Structure 1
Amino acid sequence: MKQLLEQPTNQTVSTIVTVVILACLGLFVTYVMDVGHSYNDLPFRDSGVFLYAGQQVLEGKIPYRDVWDHKPPAVFYVNALGLLIGKGHIDGIYILEKLSVYAASVCGFFLMSRAFDAISAVFATILWLITLPLILDGGNLVTEYALPWQFLILYLFWSIEKHKTYSWKCVALGIAVSMCFLFKPNTIGIGIAVVVYWLGAHVLVRRTLSSLRPIVLVGVGSVLLGLAIAAYFRVNHAFGALFDAVLRYNIVYSATDSQSKFFSLSDGIATLPSTGIYALALTAWITGLFMVIHNDDQDKTIRPLLAVSLVGLPVELVLSSISGRSYNHYYMAWLPMMTILVAFFAYTLRQHIPTRLDVFGCWRIRLTTVILIGLLVAFWTQQSATMRFKQKANQERYIHVTEYIQKNTHEQEYVLMWGAEAVVNFMSRRPSPTRFVYQYPLYTVSYQSATLVQEFMHDIETNKPVLIIDTSATNGVIPPLNPDQRSGWSPLNDPYGLSYGVLPEMESVFAYIHSHYTLVDTIHAWNVYRRVD
């Protein structure tokens, strides 16, 4: 009896293995994220806007109504939560970033280990995690927070198809799709692929109303969350501002030519090969397409997941290139689809290796080998990421300007960053006098309007910022406040086709600043103006 009690049950062993896997994933994610943040001690420009917006949310402000930005709302509230956790410090954001990537890695690993096998899941998980630092772009960006929701969509879809139960999981899948949209609309490609699969595999084949059930339930989940968000902003008198910024501005922002969209796609393809994930995913995509077309005998639980991956990857490629921009973090949206394809490739390869050639007879040795290779590649990735972004680490200007502001203003006094450097407002803990914490919407042709300029002017007159920091010396979109410099100035030609210009109504803004502010200092080429009355 004593010996029997001492023998671990299968359930006990399974629990121990699960705990070990979760712990190892946690350590590896922490390492990878530290690599990704190793080249930046301070937030970059986009992250600075999100941090400032989150800071203002904790002060009771509402995005769009009180802080203008064209991203969907989820990222602002994630930043507010991170700052709440970190007691106003960015460390809380780092915690949420790691938790987000950890959730994505756990969800993805268990999906792949159940759909394929543990070895394939380990290999694919390590590969996408070591790719992440190369495209993290400093972190705290919308595509990063969408990752766990993308993997959750895949997991729910696999579970639904395995058990053929089209109920609450479909609603949950719809909510996950909405969450992707609320971070970045371009990340809903997996959701689109799922709907396309169900249309093809259910509706077109069965041709019955009941076959629409999963699609309807997904729609219910998506719409319910969307209506709740819309109601929140409508109650807070911010829905119109949200609609204007998120929809109308992004339509203008994405109105680039086809050449820019093509280069955005090709730049992403050129960015990822260093870790091999793109080459393996492409090989798997071609292999999987061949197997689906020729109706090869496959596990019934694998075929739906493979089909969605085959559809989802090209959809995500297209969606990420809509704006025509080539920002590295855009390509994070590709990782979930590529990861599934890499796992499929590893699984298929192992299935077709003859037993006599399987020199690694013990699964422990195989697993250890995969992990060691992954760690070696991760070490190389760390060096690559550090060198790749070494030039971006020069952020002394932010530090010196922040110190100057804190020394020469009080905490509740307004500071206007003339340009697009909301990160300084965040770091100095000084509010912007206007919701246009960065002024791109005032200069973006096809979006700008006299009404927006008049609102901006009214905000400055009413709130009377103590300091105005002119950042135009390092930002060609922004007109200089110095009249002599402005007379020979023309806006930067945007390489993606977006046009900038100054409306005649801005002259009243220039005149007001000229008569009420005087140049008192210059910090790293940024002119500092102080109010004189």
Structure 2
Amino acid sequence: MKAEARVSQEQPDRLINISDRQYFACCILLFALIIGTIVVASSLFMTSAWTTYDTARFYAMADVIVKGATPYLDFQDPKPPLIFFTLALPTLLGQKYLGGLILVGLCNLASAILVTKMACELYGRFSGFIAGLLFTVNIAFAQGYFILTEPFTVTFILLATYLAGFTEKKHYLWAGISAGIAIGFKQYALLSVPLLAFLMWRNGDLRKVPSLLAGVLLPLIVIFAAIFLHYGVEAGVASLNWSFGVAATYLTEENMGTVTSYRTTDPLMLCANLAMAASVFTSLLVFALAGVVKDRRLDALEQYFLLSAVGFALTLAIRQYLHYWVLALPFFAFLCARQFRNGR
């Protein structure tokens, strides 16, 4: 019976008799095709009002940068600087939306590669394919192919995860740098810092947390120091305030000056919004969490995946935007793929 179970577990890999490297390459080519198709489809709607509210604000700030005006003074938006300066590049090239979509597509492909590689190393190549496919397809339902901060952010969170959990010597400094860059795109990436510290603790490396924190601070210091040096003290202070200082206002008020924060004040409406936001991914969530309930023997990385999935998903309690799911989806994909592990 044990031999039959083992053969059954390994059967998915035997269906395609190619090397692991060829299998991985085929997966990436498939994901690139899917991502390219969705990017092309998204480009047909990239000027629609329902797809561009946040994007329009990002490009308004990018225009400020390109025209030589002062970001955070001549225009305000409660996001860290990296998204604005990143989108300044396609703005300079005269391809605002198409260029932005291409950047989003490249980030999603990089994320799919990281998800696939990590799941392959943990659970075998079929599980790697499942994890990568779940991520690539499901983020489409989470507005992951819109020009928003999340596709950029999740790529660097996944890179930090790989550097902290999958490299032989555990490159915690570089993991911190990657997490710091993620924070430079979106504030919610701050959650990755205690999550990575938890993983370090489970790996017996808690004493190396200062390396992680130093890595987190390094890119943030460089980013904001550059604004202070180039645009002046007033702009530098404003950039810090709009990136992090407005957090309390964002959580408690409906508006931040000219910026609407869309805070839900009615508890019933909040519950309805949460239910609708979760309903899109009901099957994925149930499958992932059912696997954890069925087999509770989680190792350090799996505990990290579970905490990351739940932690990032809880940000929807603050705002019920579909794109808030993007940061949680790869970790739910890992938990789903875990159920197809074959011991390889």
Q: Report the TM-score when normalising by structure 2.
A: 0.80
Specify the alignment match of 1:117 in structure 2: 124
- Structure 1 pair 141–191 and aligned structure 2 pair: CA distance change class (3 A): same
Partner residue in 1 for 2:3: none
Gaps of 5+ in 1: 1-11, 203-210, 293-302, 352-533
1:178-202 deviation line (CA, Å, top 9, x unaligned): 1221121223434422212323552
SS of equivalent residue, structure 2 residue 166: helix
Match of 1:334 among 328, 331, 335: 328
Identity of paired residues, percent? Answer: 17
**What is the rounded CA distance, in whole Å, between the counterparts of 1:214 and 1:181 in structure 2?**
20
Distance 2:126 2:218 in 1: 39
Q: Which amino acid aligns with 1:28?
A: I
Q: Paired residues, what number?
A: 309
SS at match of 1:141: coil
Gaps of 5+ in 2: 1-17, 253-262
Tell me the SS of whatever aligns to 2:306: helix
- Deviation of 1:34 (Å): 3.6
* Residue 16 (structure 1) shift: 4.8
Determine if the alignment matches structure 1 residue 158 to structure 2 residue 169.
no
Q: Quote the residue 1:76 is aligned against.
A: 84
Query: Residue 90 of structure 2 contacts residue 99 of structure 2 at CA under 8 Å; is this kept in 1?
Result: yes
Match of 2:217 among 218, 223, 236: 223
Whole-angstrom CA distance in 2 between matches of 1:285 and 1:250: 33
- Distance across 2 between alignment mates of 1:282 and 1:258: 29
Task: Quote the residue 1:253 is aligned against.
Answer: 250
- Secondary structure of the residue aligned to 1:63 is coil
Change (3 A) 1:38 1:73: same
Is the counterpart of residue 279 in structure 1 residue 286 in structure 2? yes
The aligned residue for residue 304 of structure 1 is 300
1:180 matched to 2:169: no
Cross-structure match for 1:96: 103
How many Å apart are 1:250 and its aligned residue? Answer: 3.0
Structure 2 SS opposite 1:326: coil
Query: Equivalent residue for 1:507?
Result: none
State the Cα deviation string for residues 325-382 of structure 1 (Å, max 9, x = none): 21111111211211111111222xx56xxxxxxxxxxxxxxxxxxxxxxxxxxxxxxx
Spell out the pairing of 1:59-458 with structure 2 (5 A cutoff). 59-84=67-92, 86-136=93-143, 139-160=146-167, 163=168, 165-166=169-170, 169-202=171-204, 211-235=205-229, 236-237=231-232, 238-255=235-252, 259=267, 265-273=274-282, 276-288=283-295, 290-292=296-298, 303-321=299-317, 323=318, 325-347=319-341
CA distance in 2 between counterparts of 1:15 and 1:332 reads 28
Distance 1:230 1:343, change over 3 A: same
For 1:179 and 1:266, the matched residues in 2 are separated by 32
Deviation at residue 285 of structure 1 after TM alignment: 3.2
Distance 1:175 1:70 in 2: 22
- CA shift, 1:138, in A, is 6.6
Larger-Rg structure: 1
The one-character-per-residue Cα deviations of 1:153-185 (angstroms, maximum 9, x if unpaired) are 22122224xx2x24xx21111011112211212
Deviation at 1:55, TM superposition (A): 2.4
1:110: Cα distance to partner?
1.1
Alignment-derived partner of residue 510 in structure 1: none
Match of 1:49 in 2: 57
Instruction: Give the letter aligned to residue 196 of structure 2.
Output: V
Q: Read off the aligned partner of 1:27 and give its amino acid letter.
A: L
* Conservation of the 8 A alpha-carbon contact between 1:150 and 1:336: no
| Corresponding residue number in structure 2 for 1:373 | none
Q: Is the partner of 1:254 in helix, strand or coil?
A: helix
CA distance in 2, matches of 1:258, 1:287: 36
Structure 2 distance, partners of 1:188, 1:67, is: 24
Q: Which residue of 2 is the match for residue 433 of structure 1?
A: none
Distance 1:313 1:280 in 2: 13
Which amino acid is the alignment partner of residue 76 of structure 2? W
- In the alignment, the residues of structure 2 paired with residue 68 and residue 145 of structure 1 have an alpha-carbon distance, to the nearest angstrom, of 21
1:42-79 CA distance string (max 9 Å, x none): 45111001112222222233421332111111110121
**Residue identity opposite 1:81 in structure 2:** L
Cα shift readout 1:255-301 (whole Å, capped 9, x = no counterpart): 2669476655444322212xx3222222233245x224xxxxxxxxx
Distance of 1:65 and 1:249 partners within structure 2: 15
SS in 1 for 2:94: coil
- The 1:198–1:19 alpha-carbon spacing in structure 2 relative to 1, beyond 3 Å, is closer
Residues 82/320 of structure 1: CA separation in 2 closer, same or farther (3 Å cut): farther
What amino acid does structure 1 have at the position aligned with 2:115?
G
8 Å contact kept, 1:263–1:326: no
Distance 1:282 1:306 in 2: 12
- SS at 1:140's partner residue? coil
Question: Is contact 1:174-1:220 (8 Å) kept?
Answer: yes
Q: Structure 1 residues 326-335 or 30-39, which shifts more?
A: 30-39
Residue deviations 1:449-488 (CA, integer Å, cap 9, x gap): xxxxxxxxxxxxxxxxxxxxxxxxxxxxxxxxxxxxxxxx
Shift of residue 106, structure 1, vs aligned partner: 0.9
Q: CA deviation at 1:108?
A: 1.1
Q: 1:26 aligns with which of 29, 32, 37?
A: 32
- How large is the Cα RMSD of the aligned pairs? 2.6
- Amino acid in the other structure paired with 1:131: N
Distance 1:337 1:137, change over 3 A: closer
* Deviation of the 1:112 alpha carbon: 1.0
Give the secondary-structure state (helix, strand or coil) at the position aligned to 2:328. helix
